[in-house]
Amino acid sequence: MRGRGGATMAGRALRALPRLKPLNRLQVTLQHLKMSNQTDSAAEVLLEKRGCAGVITLNRPKALNALNLSMIQQIYPQLKTWEQDPETFLIIIKGTGGKAFCAGGDIRAITEAGKVGDKLTQDFFRGEYRLNNAVGTCKKPYVALIDGITMGGGVGVSVHGHFRVATEKTLFAMPETAIGLFPDVGGGYFLPRLKGKIGYYLALTGCRLKGRDVLKAGIATHFVESGKLPALEKDLIALKSPSKENIADLLNSYQSTVDQEKEFVLDEHMEKINSIFSANSMEEIVKKLKQDGSPFAMKQLEKGHDFYEGVRAVLIDKDQSPKWKPPALEEVSDEFVENCFKPLGNDDLKL
């Protein structure tokens, strides 16, 4: 639709300039199309200074606000600028559309590029991880309003910040293992730091947590009713030269008691999770699950070669039958695992 709209507007521009030489007319057309593309690209993420805050709005609602390379390349420098700006006291990140904060990275596009050797794949992950690190090291208080679906890449631009505000609509997961990828975006850092072995469980199974359970698991720092987020955002923006403590006090004042007495969804399984997922290798975890034999343990064993095959099976062909290489855990050698973590030389990520 954008292409047709752009072409139509370019045509009008041409008809309106009949006396221009052909070369000038071409330059006008190209400039117009360039401006159209910039507008379309900028619309995917909105970066605004409002009151005391820098506000990042992920604006791809039809794609559940999934991150693409263009968005990442716009957010990173702006985040760094706000971090140094004496008039910016906090940073807020949110999503549009009401369904998702951010459902992940645009891995379908990354997969198609990777299959044909396009460097988009490398550029995307390099940019994404650099952004995740910028969030985690940001000197200004960072408030993520994780209302709705928050998975994968969406976790990466929220969980490393100072404050993560969940709502009754929040749906959290690290589903990367379903597509043959490790829990990325810094998952290897924050997941093991959750209480007990729940982080290992979430990483290996892709288990989904909803609403207040996201707070109870220690992923969110606050729980606020979704309908009150606009008021919360307005109050955050209106703060005068706030400290981190001032921001925490305001967030605390919005804390909701909805579902407060409801038992954490994994409470009944925590003893098994802490025992089984404390093993030192994947083989040991599988062995413990088999030995346990409970319905809970058997369900975990249902989870299943590489990233592209996983994306094909889950997101493209949707046959849910990935053909892993190697096909069985027993065939994964120590050498294969070590190879995944070898230095990349000049291609190593420099933060």
Catalytic residue positions?
A: 105, 153, 176, 184
Instruction: Please state, in angstroms and rounded to a whole number, the distance separating the CA atoms of residues 82 and 80.
Output: 6
Ordered strands of the 142-146 beta sheet? 45-50, 53-58, 90-95, 142-146, 163-166, 222-223
How many other C-beta atoms lie within 10 A of the C-beta of residue 223? 24
Instruction: Please state, in angstroms and rounded to a whole number, the distance separating the CA atoms of residues 342 and 232.
Output: 45
| Identity of residue 255 | Q
| Host H or E run for residue 115 | helix 107-115
Contact status, residue 134 vs residue 73, Cβ threshold 8 Å = no
Nearest-10 Cα torsion for 120, 126, 128, 134? -150
> Which position has the token pair 């100072």?
162
Q: Which residues of 44-77 are buried (b: 16+ CB within 10 A; e: fewer)?
A: bbebeeebbbbbbbbbbeebbbbbbbebbebbbe
